[in-house]
């Protein structure tokens, strides 16, 4: 019989609905049952594209003998970490406080009051059964010890950030001199030969390279720019990038960007669109343009829902084998390519026995088109034609295979990251298709993923063929932060003021419902935001997300949003809040820069005044496109072809019927000019 997960919308939970384990989703029914029956709770957390989650399910959760033990002695709860990042964050912190390295699947044992006392990640079946027996015995025979342990972890979880990290009220220091120590702390850990950070596995970590670009812009340091270029080149040529179909895998298992963990996540690809588009505007690399166009086509082909939102992820596995969909045996490639095989094998590092596991090949390069074409005595256009022809032939083979599983839930925050990527790609390249996708997505987010009754965002949305889509779970801070960021990029790409107004409305909701109302006499009022809405379910702790990871922290994104809105809408209180957030975080950023690089990027940006550029007249969009085609991150753009009540545009108009551009700093504007060339003279 299906368990209680059969009524859920999460693909990950539905994958476990037929398990013999009596799984419940996180919620009152399971938590109340634990209290009523006085049983410990097992919370098992994972996500749809998680390889080891699938392995543990096959080895343990699908087995009647294992399920019998779990059902008899525990209340078992399954959590999709992407659907409930609040629950995941609390119990991940708890497990790490226990001295266990975090990861997924995350299996945490709780007292009936939901306080944690023990946790592990993946275990093979014999070890898992032994652990279940040990935990059950400890709960029966040493209950008081477990209670004390759980109380200790609960206290740890409820420490304020001031207590945990020594945060206090500070005035932020914005200077290029201060950036040097931040840069050195990141650069010393960077791999200057292969790109990325000097460790394996290698994750893309877009926030690190975003900081490096802004640091380079502020200081002119060429080493930082070279590090960005090496990283983006090697990722784009490596196995982490799908050389045939576009799009990035979640990470590389090795230090060479060779063997990916093949799952493809929307959040990576959305952020990398922004990063590669920004880098293209500075370096004009044809490789980056190719990556952007191909990745957007991948997302449109494989992740776009009929309603305009983007699905979450593609599995690493197909037919139960990791990477089977994306890799080829040497005979397959040889047969498909014929006389083109030899040069193709040279370029993509193929071997007769396969360059990866089980005789299969991962398409992986280290050589650029320019270098390879020169070595072969071909022109670049010759190589391009040959590459297109071989890729088409291999894609035909791949398209006939059984596809990896699709996680078709739509997450608000990840879609916000994708919206920013599409809007940024449009701003740099002016490709109408990119704007069309961004507009559809923005309409979808504001229509389907916002509650019309109170204006709040929903975190997740799922639709099934022929069934009205369901939005559920009140939005978290990262949902608001990412969508606001995307809307601000879309406004600056189009000058459609509705997108700016929507961003402001969502910001007002955040200020009202995510702020910390407590006042500490020692540290002053905390300007940082909680991760959860004050109207949401109350958990054993209410956390604040501070550290930048593969996705930047929601607080760092909100600080930047507030600053941008303060300039576009003349809201000094927004700028004051952003400064308070940066001031509180700056000492921590200086200590742990590589874990707080999105904060560091803002300190780099603010080391000089931000240019407020207003464009008024019939060529507003053309001039906007010219300004966006060059890398200059330290600006906000606003414009109109007619009249506007926005502060930077009020009482400003064309000059002798020519489009006028006003460059302002701190609300003080220089004399208007009528060409973009003159703007660059003013900025530089």
Output the six-digit token pair for 594.
């590589």
DSSP string computed for 135-197: HHHHHHH-HHHHHHHHHHHHHHHT--HHHHH----------HHHHHHHHHHHHTTB-TTTSSB
Q: Give the pLDDT confidence score for residue 117 in this predicted structure.
A: 96
Give me the chain's average pLDDT, please.
95
pLDDT in tens, 524-554: 689 999 999 999 999 999 999 999 999 999 9
Residue 69, number of CB atoms within 10 A of its CB = 17
Distance, in Å, from the CA atom of 222 to the CA atom of 431, rounded to the nearest integer, reads 30
Output the six-digit token pair for 275.
């990063």
The residues facing 42 across adjacent strands are: 76, 109
Per this entry, what is the length of the chain?
684
Q: Give the pLDDT confidence score for residue 466 in this predicted structure.
A: 52
- Backbone phi, then psi, for 22, in 5-degree steps? -85, 65
Q: Give the pLDDT confidence score for residue 517 in this predicted structure.
A: 84
Distance, in Å, from the CA atom of 23 to the CA atom of 80, rounded to the nearest integer, reads 12
The residues facing 264 across adjacent strands are: 314
* Residue 61: pLDDT over 90: yes
Give just the sign of the alpha carbon dihedral 407, 408, 412, 418.
positive
Q: Give the pLDDT confidence score for residue 589 in this predicted structure.
A: 97
* Residue 468: pLDDT over 70: no
Q: Give the pLDDT confidence score for residue 23 in this predicted structure.
A: 98
Mapping DSSP to helix (H, G, I), strand (E, B) and coil, where does residue 671 land? coil
Q: Give the pLDDT confidence score for residue 334 in this predicted structure.
A: 97
- Cα→Cα distances 83→94, 483, 617, Å: 19, 17, 45
Q: Which of 214, 276, 213, 215 is nearest to 241 (CA)?
A: 276
For residue 579, what is the DSSP state? H
Distance, in Å, from the CA atom of 295 to the CA atom of 247, rounded to the nearest integer, reads 5
**Single pTM value for the model:** 0.95
Domain 176-198+208-247+274-312+410-598 bears CATH identifier 1.50.10.10: yes
Give just the sign of the alpha carbon dihedral 21, 27, 29, 30.
positive
Catalogue the E-assigned strands of 47-105.
75-80
Q: Which of 264, 272, 408 is nearest to 325 (CA)?
A: 264
Distance, in Å, from the CA atom of 62 to the CA atom of 65, rounded to the nearest integer, reads 9
Exposed, middle or buried: residue 422 (CB in 10 Å: 0-12, 13-18, 19+)? buried
Mean pLDDT throughout 25-33?
96
For residue 102, what is the DSSP state? P
- Cα→Cα distances 56→3, 46, 122, 388, Å: 18, 10, 7, 40
Q: Give the pLDDT confidence score for residue 467 in this predicted structure.
A: 58
Helix (H) / strand (E) element for 406: namely: strand 406-407
Q: Give the pLDDT confidence score for residue 71 in this predicted structure.
A: 97
Q: Give the pLDDT confidence score for residue 523 in this predicted structure.
A: 62
Q: Give the pLDDT confidence score for residue 320 in this predicted structure.
A: 86
313 contacts 48 by C-beta, under 8 angstroms: yes
Instruction: Estimate the share of the chain in helix, then strand, then coil, as percent rounded to the nearest 5.
Output: 50, 15, 35
Q: Give the pLDDT confidence score for residue 251 in this predicted structure.
A: 95
CATH fold for domain 4-159: Glutaredoxin (3.40.30)
pLDDT in tens, 472-490: 899 999 999 999 999 999 9
- Backbone phi, then psi, for 420, in 5-degree steps? -60, -40
| Of 255 and 102, the one with more pLDDT | 255
Establish whether domains 4-159 and 176-198+208-247+274-312+410-598 are of one fold: no
The residues facing 252 across adjacent strands are: 202, 260
Distance, in Å, from the CA atom of 316 to the CA atom of 168, rounded to the nearest integer, reads 43
508 contacts 558 by C-beta, under 8 angstroms: no
Q: Which residues contact 466 (CB under 8 A, 6 or more apart)?
A: none
Q: Domain residues of the chain, as ranges?
A: 4-159, 176-198+208-247+274-312+410-598, 328-400, 611-683
Distance, in Å, from the CA atom of 120 to the CA atom of 109, rounded to the nearest integer, reads 9
Q: Give the pLDDT confidence score for residue 143 in this predicted structure.
A: 94
Q: Give the pLDDT confidence score for residue 656 in this predicted structure.
A: 84
Q: Give the pLDDT confidence score for residue 614 in this predicted structure.
A: 97
495 contacts 620 by C-beta, under 8 angstroms: yes
Distance, in Å, from the CA atom of 583 to the CA atom of 395, rounded to the nearest integer, reads 51
Output the six-digit token pair for 628.
């966006």
What is the percentage of the chain residues whose pLDDT exceeds 70? 98
pLDDT in tens, 107-133: 999 999 999 999 999 999 999 999 999
Q: Which of 267, 195, 270 is nearest to 233 (CA)?
A: 195
The residues facing 75 across adjacent strands are: 41
Distance, in Å, from the CA atom of 352 to the CA atom of 346, rounded to the nearest integer, reads 12
422 contacts 275 by C-beta, under 8 angstroms: no
pLDDT in tens, 585-639: 999 999 999 999 999 999 999 999 999 999 999 999 999 999 999 999 999 999 9
| Of 522 and 458, the one with more pLDDT | 458
247 contacts 399 by C-beta, under 8 angstroms: no
Q: Give the pLDDT confidence score for residue 375 in this predicted structure.
A: 96
* Residue 194: pLDDT over 90: yes
Residue 670, number of CB atoms within 10 A of its CB = 13
Q: Give the pLDDT confidence score for residue 653 in this predicted structure.
A: 86
Sheet holding 467-474, edge to edge: 410-411, 458-464, 467-474
> pLDDT-based confidence at 323, cuts 50/70/90?
very high
Output the six-digit token pair for 55.
């392995």
């Amino acid at each position: 019989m299906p368990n209680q997960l059969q009524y859920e919308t999460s693909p990950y939970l539905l994958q476990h609905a037929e398990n013999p384990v009596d799984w419940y989703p996180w919620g009152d029914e399971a938590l109340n049952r634990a209290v009523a029956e006085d049983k410990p709770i097992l919370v098992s957390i994972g996500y749809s594209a998680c390889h080891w989650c699938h392995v543990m399910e096959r080895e343990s959760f699908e087995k009647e003998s294992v399920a019998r033990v779990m059902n008899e002695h525990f209340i078992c709860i399954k959590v999709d970490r992407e659907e409930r990042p609040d629950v995941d964050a609390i119990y991940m912190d708890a497990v790490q406080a226990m001295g266990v390295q975090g990861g997924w699947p995350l299996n945490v044992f709780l007292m009936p009051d939901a306080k944690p006392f023990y946790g592990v990640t993946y275990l093979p079946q014999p070890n898992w059964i032994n652990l279940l027996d040990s935990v059950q015995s400890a709960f029966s025979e040493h209950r008081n010890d477990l209670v004390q342990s759980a109380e200790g972890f609960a206290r740890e979880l409820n420490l304020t950030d001031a207590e945990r990290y020594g945060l206090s009220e500070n005035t932020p220091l914005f200077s290029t001199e201060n950036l040097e120590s931040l840069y050195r702390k990141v650069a010393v850990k960077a791999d200057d030969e292969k790109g990325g950070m000097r460790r394996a596995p290698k994750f893309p970590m877009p926030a690190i390279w975003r900081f490096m670009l802004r640091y380079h812009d502020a200081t002119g340091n060429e080493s930082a720019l070279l590090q960005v270029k090496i990283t983006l080149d090697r990722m784009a040529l490596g196995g982490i990038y799908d050389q045939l179909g576009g799009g990035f895998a979640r990470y590389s298992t090795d230090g060479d960007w060779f063997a990916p963990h093949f799952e493809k996540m929307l959040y990576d690809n959305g952020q990398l669109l922004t990063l590669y588009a920004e880098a293209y505007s500075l370096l004009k690399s044809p490789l980056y343009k190719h990556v952007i166009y191909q990745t957007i086509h991948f997302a449109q082909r494989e992740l776009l829902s009929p309603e305009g939102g983007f699905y979450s992820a593609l599995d690493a596995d197909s037919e139960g084998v990791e990477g089977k969909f994306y890799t080829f045996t040497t005979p397959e490639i040889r047969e498909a390519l014929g006389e083109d095989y030899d040069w193709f094998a040279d370029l993509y590092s193929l071997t007769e026995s396969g360059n990866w596991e089980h005789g299969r090949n991962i398409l992986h390069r280290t050589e650029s088109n320019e270098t390879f074409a020169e070595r072969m005595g071909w022109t670049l256009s010759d190589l391009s034609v040959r590459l297109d022809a071989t890729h088409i032939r291999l894609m035909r083979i791949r398209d006939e295979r059984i596809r990896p599983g699709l996680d078709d839930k739509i997450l608000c925050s990840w879609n916000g990251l994708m919206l920013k990527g599409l809007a940024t790609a449009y701003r740099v390249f002016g490709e109408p298709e990119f704007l069309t996708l961004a507009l559809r997505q923005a309409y979808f987010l504001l229509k389907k993923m916002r509650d019309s009754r109170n204006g709040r965002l929903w975190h997740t949305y799922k639709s099934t063929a022929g069934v009205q889509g369901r939005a559920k779970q009140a939005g978290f801070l990262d949902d608001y932060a990412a969508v606001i960021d995307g809307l601000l990029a879309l406004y600056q790409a189009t000058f459609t003021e509705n997108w700016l107004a929507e961003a402001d409305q969502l910001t007002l909701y955040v200020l009202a419902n995510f702020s910390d109302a407590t006042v500490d006499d020692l540290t002053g009022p905390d300007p940082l935001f909680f991760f959860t809405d004050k109207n949401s379910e109350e958990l054993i702790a209410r956390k604040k997300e501070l550290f930048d990871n593969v996705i930047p922290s929601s607080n760092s994104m909100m600080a930047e949003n507030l600053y941008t809105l303060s300039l576009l809408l003349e809201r000094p209180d927004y700028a004051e809040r952003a400064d308070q957030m940066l001031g509180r975080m700056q000492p921590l950023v200086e200590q742990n820069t590589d874990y707080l690089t999105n904060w560091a990027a803002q300190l780099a940006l603010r080391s000089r005044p931000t240019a407020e550029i207003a464009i008024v007249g019939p060529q507003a969009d053309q001039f906007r496109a010219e300004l966006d085609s060059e890398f200059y991150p330290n600006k906000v753009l606003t414009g109109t072809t007619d009249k506007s009540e926005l502060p930077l545009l009020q009482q400003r108009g064309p000059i002798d019927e020519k489009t006028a551009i006003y460059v302002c700093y701190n609300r003080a504007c220089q004399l208007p000019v009528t060409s973009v060339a003159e703007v660059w003279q003013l900025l530089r």
